[in-house]
Structure 1
Amino acid sequence: MTRTAKIIHLAALTVAATIYVALTTQAVAQSQRNCGPREAVVERLASGYGETRQSVGIGSNNAMVEVFASDQTGSWTILVTMPTGVTCLVASGQSFEEVAEALPAKGNDA
Structure 2
Amino acid sequence: MIHRSLAVLSVLGCSLLLIPAESSAQAQASCGPRHELVKLLADRYKEDPVGIGLSQPGQVLEVFASQAGTWSMVMTMPDGKACLIAAGDNWEMVTKAKGSPI
Of the candidates 96, 100, 103, which is equivalent to residue 101 of structure 2? 103
Q: What's the Cα RMSD here?
A: 2.1
Q: Where does structure 2 lack aligned partners over 5 or more consecutive residues?
A: 1-16, 21-27
3-state SS in 2 of match to 1:34? strand
Gaps of 5+ in 1: 1-27, 105-110
Aligned pair count reads 76
TM-score (norm 1): 0.63
The residue that corresponds to 1:70 in the other structure is 66
Higher relative contact order at CA 8 Å, sep ≥6: structure 1 or structure 2? 1
Aligned equivalent of 2:24: none
Describe the shift of the 1:29–1:39 C-alpha distance in structure 2 as closer, same or farther (beyond 3 A): closer
- How far 1:33 sits from its partner (Å)? 6.1
**Of Structure 1 and Structure 2, which has the larger fraction of its residues in helix?**
1
Distance 1:60 1:103 in 2: 27
Q: Which protein has the larger Cα radius of gyration, Structure 1 or Structure 2?
A: 1
Q: Give the one of 49, 54, 57 matched to 1:61.
A: 57
Q: Shift of residue 100 of structure 1?
A: 1.8
- CA distance in structure 2 between the partners assigned to 1:35 and 1:85 by the alignment: 10
Partner of 2:84: 89
Identical residues among aligned pairs (%): 37
